[in-house]
Each structure stands twice: as C-alpha cells, then as structure tokens.
Structure 1
C-alpha cells in the first residue's frame, strides 16, 4: 500500500516523512514530491533549453509515489476525469535555432527564382484595428510580455512572463526560471528587442509560480497588464494566449475557455516538488516556450498563466520527438497566482494551505482516502492538526470539498491549494459506509520543502 500526504508529511515508496512523491507517471528518474492530495499530472509548458533539445515528458496520475515499472502513458482517472489532464506536460522548451532556421529559410526562398511581389494601396484608416479586436488587444499587450532566458548549473530554459507592476516585477512560472533560481543567469527581453538582467525574487514549486525583477530597469517601459477575475470566467469565453512557442517570441493565438477547475499536476522530477492547479483549460494553441505567458480574456485582462499542455507526439525537424499543441492547454487561475505573487514579493517564500493527513494513493474507489494507518513515524492524521480537530480519522474517504466533488487524492490537493491558510472548508467524507460532513479550518505550511 502506498501512502502520501497532502501538504505536510508526504511519503515515497520507501517511506520518507519529509518528501511525499507526486502523482506523476512517466517522469524518468522522478520521485515527485508533494504535499498532499493533488490532481492528475500534466506537463508544464516550459521554455526552450539549448541543443540538444530535451524531450518533453508526460505525467499521469498513478499511485503516489510512482510505482516501479509504471508505464509512462496517460490513463483515465476515476469517475470520468479525463486522462488528458493526467498526461499534461510541463512544456520544456522551444526548439531553439533549428525551427527558427527552417522558418527563415522557407521565407527567404519566396524571393528567389524570379518570383515577384504585388503591392496594393489601401486607405490607412481602414487598416486601423478596433481596440477590442484580437489585433487591438495584442498590440496593447505585447509590449508588456517578455521572453525569459534562464541558465544555471542544472540547465537552461526559455519561457515567457509579463509585467506585473511598475517596480519591475515579472510574473511567470517556477519551471521557467528554476535553472537560475539558486544562482545563474537570468534575462528578460521585451518586444522591442531590449534585454535586461533580472533576479529571482521568490518561487513556489507547488503552485508553479515565480516572481522575478529587472535589476536595472533604466529606460524600460513597465506597463503592467491589467488583471481580470478568474472566478468570473465561464466555459465558452474567448481567450488570447501570448508567448514564445519554440522560441518564436511575440506569438499570439486565440481560442476559448474549454473547461474550468480542471485538476492538473505536473513536474516533480529530480527531487523537486510537483505543482498542482485547479486549472483553466483552453484550446488556444500553447506550445513549449509559452510557459509563464498571459492568458487574456476578450477585454485584454489576464485571467491565467499558461503553464501546461496535453502534448501531441510529433517529430521535430531535428529528428527527435516534441510535444506540440493539440488544443488542450492549462493555465493557473490569476486569482490564485496574484495572491502567491504578493506573498513571494513580501517574504520570498511560498505559503500553502494544509489539511494535515497522510493519503492512500492505492485506494481504488471514488474519493481521496486518508491512510488507514500510520507509516513509520508519519501519522495518518496529524495530531492536533486541522483534520484531527475536525474529527477526521484514518481510513476516512473524502468525497467532496465544499461543493467540489473529489474523484481522487491528486484532485484534493489542487482544491486545497485554491484556498489560503485559515480558510474554513466543508469536507464531506465516508466512514464505514456512512456519509458525514465536517468543517475544517485549513492550517499553514511555509516553504516548498516540508
């Protein structure tokens, strides 16, 4: 039986009270670590490491921690939760020079071989785009979107970010800047081509959110993008994504909100903590390099941070495999991200809500089961913790958090993390076949490593 914990005492296959494994399947060598109940695993939309291009990875929702020999493919989650969420990938990067070269070469060929061009005159007024058109929104937003280059001892990546305030703070994903999070080179490049050195102010592995700051803004035009209200988003709303897919900065794509509150888990490789989100799903084209970029609504307000995709397997121009957009992208809701950003700017470290239980990831029924017994020195229910005070016991199966049905352990983590420490939540659970309800006041955990 494999157990893991939701925000406090995670345990891997070999019990380790300090680091529970995350539900990421298919991560080579990855012993994802995480704090508690979480959602299915996707892949993050990273930036672009230099050649050789790293292969994108997928992660599904196996037992937590991953079982030896688990196949790396996506699987359906219980109760109809689509496997695509479990298979979403942190998009690790653009193809760098390879794809850019091919695009440029193809473009140049049009001017060879005696081809000719035709120009037509047009009324300049007719070419003006309305401010609320996609073109008008993109024109206004692009100067506030930056391409981020991170280089450190652990590797390098390219991603996207956007101006958060006039002090030079840039909001992006943790996985975009992680190579330089503990020392390294970090730079941001604006749409006008101007490049500035930057530093990591704070990063949260669990939320996959990071705040960086331009060291010497100088003449940089810092125009913060307006933030929307992700709670008001509904399925069918128009979306606009901006980023640097495959290193192609300033790329704009459009789509709709195709789902809300999609449980997503990703990352967790090489000892890092996995990230969890109750995501906005969109069919706007998102690819490696889009990570950290804004997802805008039809008014040009940021409603999310593009972070993960369900990748398609296709051969890249260099002969390897590269996950591309198949119309399933996931964004961190901006209401959550801006609270995390404010916390990181203030203290430099993340804060997580905590339930205070150890979960059983081998439970096959619907819901998230609290481990029926302690694992080593890790108690199934933390004595005097939030769950204990609310009367929850080992073996209880949590089926609902407030009005949100819980299909499994990973989904519970993403739901818990949409709340803040001190929030009261209604927990519905089953014990001995009988349904009960209790109120839990969520606890607090500071930092990424419990």
Structure 2
C-alpha cells in the first residue's frame, strides 16, 4: 500500500502533499527586501548530542559537509538542509530551493556562504546549488544503495536550527509516492522533522547513501537512493537552471 507522504521542508510546519513543477534559475545578484520573519544567520551553534552510527572521524566530516538553507521567496520563508558534493556544489531537494528570491546558506560553525546559482531536477526531488564560497568538506558517495535492515544516519538542520544527527534503519523500499516516474525509493525510521529536507543519509563509514525528501504520518522518512543521485549527476540534462520568483 502506498503511504501518504509529506515534504519535509520547513515553513513553520510540514508542507502538505504536493507535486511541485520543475524548473530552476540563476539566483538574483541583489535579493528583494528580507521578510521580517527571517531568522538571523547568527543562530547559536550547538554541538549535536549524538554522533549517530558514525565514528568520531566520520562524524567530524559529516557535520562539516552539512549546510543549512534558507529560501527567501516573494513574501515567504522556508528552511531546509543540504550537503556538499564538492568545493562549490551542494545537493538538496527541489522543493527546498524552488520559488526563491534568494538563498541563504550557512555551515555548522556559523559561517555564511554565498549562493551563485541553483538547478533542479524534473525526475526526482533533487536540486544542485553552486556556491561562490568554498564549502568546508565533501563526503564520498557510496558505490551502492544500502540494504534493507542497514543502519543509517541522517545529518541535517530540522526546523532550520542546530545541526542534528539521528539514526535508524532502512525498513523497506517502495515506489516514490511523490514522483511515481522516479521508481524505487528507500524508507527509513530515522527521525526527521520539517527542515530536514535535503539531509544526507550516511552509512557507518560516513558515505552518502541517499537524500531525505519526505516523511509519512508514521514517522518514516523517504530517501532518494544514492544510485539515483549518481545517475542524475552523470547526466547534465537532468538539472535545469531555476528562475527567481516574481511578485
């Protein structure tokens, strides 16, 4: 039975189930006036109380590659998570960056990064953001998807606040409930919250095995597997530059 899923971007609550239109664009050089509800970028940084299933070295790498994302749209504000792919590229969800006037990026140690451009995928809820500033660290992408029963760790910024590490297991796979043409996605019981969209899912060696994009009413989270991420990154046509929101 297909589960009802919700996107886990954060706008003060969980976003209702929708299928978002694709399409992306260059970020404007000068953003529109910032809404008064924007959370300042100097939120106090907190050290996670758990390193999940990661070794000390793996945890250090994980927190360095995780990025908090604020999407300032036309009169709206939402937050999400992402992770570095290389020195100037990060991966997140399509619904985290769409309808944006500007994107604000920050690292676990409170450093702000400047976004240069964003692109989104039509096939899956994935997006790529290019940065002008160098990202602290990039993880290794795993060679294969995790198996059912494997332990995984999710690293991200739920509610747009402190970096959080949670651990769970891959409990099943199923047809993607939001993008049925994508194929199989993974389901994990690792806890996620609004703002966790775009979080990296890691194996015990700190390698990326997937990307969180939604959760269901039972607390299970849905993950784009690393095999899908790899295949889309290898095809330049998979991602299209975004356009800023208007009005």
Helix, strand or coil: the match of 1:223?
coil
Alignment pair present for 1:227 and 2:148: no
Deviation at 1:221, TM superposition (A): 4.5
1:169 Cα offset (Å)? 0.6
**Aligned 1:147-226 pairs, distance under 5 A:** 147-153=68-74, 155-166=76-87, 168-180=88-100, 184-215=101-132, 217=133, 220-226=134-140
Cα distance change, pair 205–249 in 1 and its aligned pair in 2 (3 A): farther
1:331 aligns with 2:223: yes
Q: CA RMSD, aligned part only? A: 3.1
Q: CA deviation at 1:347?
A: 7.5
- Cα shift readout 1:350-406 (whole Å, capped 9, x = no counterpart): 9xxxxxxxxxxxxxxxxxxxxxxxxxxxxxxxxxxxxxxxxxxxxxxxxxxxxxxxx
- Aligned residue pair count: 213
TM-score (norm: length of structure 2): 0.75
> In 2 relative to 1, CA 265–146 (structure 1 residues): closer, same or farther, beyond 3 Å?
same
Give 1:234 deviation, angstroms.
1.1
Report the CA distance between 1:264 and its aligned residue: 2.1
User: What is aligned with 1:138?
Assistant: 59
CA separation of 1:347 and 1:230: change in aligned 2, threshold 3 A: closer
User: Gaps spanning 5+ residues in structure 1: where?
Assistant: 1-38, 61-95, 102-128, 268-273, 312-325, 351-450
Asked whether the equivalents of residues 121 and 238 of structure 2 are also in contact (C-alpha less than 8 Å), the reply is no
| Partners of 2:18 and 2:239 in 1: CA distance | 29
Partner deviation per Cα, 1:125-150 (whole Å, 9 max, x = no partner): xxxx99x8455422221011000111
Which protein is richer in helix relative to its size? 1
Structure with more relative contact order (C-alpha pairs < 8 Å, separation 6 or more): 2
Name the CA distance, whole Å, in 2 between partners of 1:284 and 1:45.
Answer: 13
Q: How far, CA to CA, are the matches of 2:232 and 2:156 in structure 1? A: 21
Structure showing the higher strand proportion among its residues: 2
Q: How far has the Cα of 1:54 moved from its partner?
A: 4.8
Structure of greater Rg: 1
* 1:296 maps to 2:208: no
Secondary structure of the 2:15 match is coil
What stretches of structure 2 of length at least 5 have no aligned partner? Answer: 20-37, 44-49, 242-247
- Counterpart of 1:265 in structure 2 is 177
1:14-163 maps to which residues of 2 (within 5 A)? 42-46=5-9, 48-49=10-11, 53-54=12-13, 56-58=15-17, 133-153=54-74, 155-163=76-84
The answer to whether the Cα contact below 8 Å between 2:3 and 2:216 also exists between their aligned partners in 1 is no
> Which string of whole-angstrom CA distances, capped at 9 and with x for unpartnered residues, describes residues 240-282 of structure 1?
001111223310000111112x112228xxxxxx884521111
Deviation at 1:338, TM superposition (A): 2.5
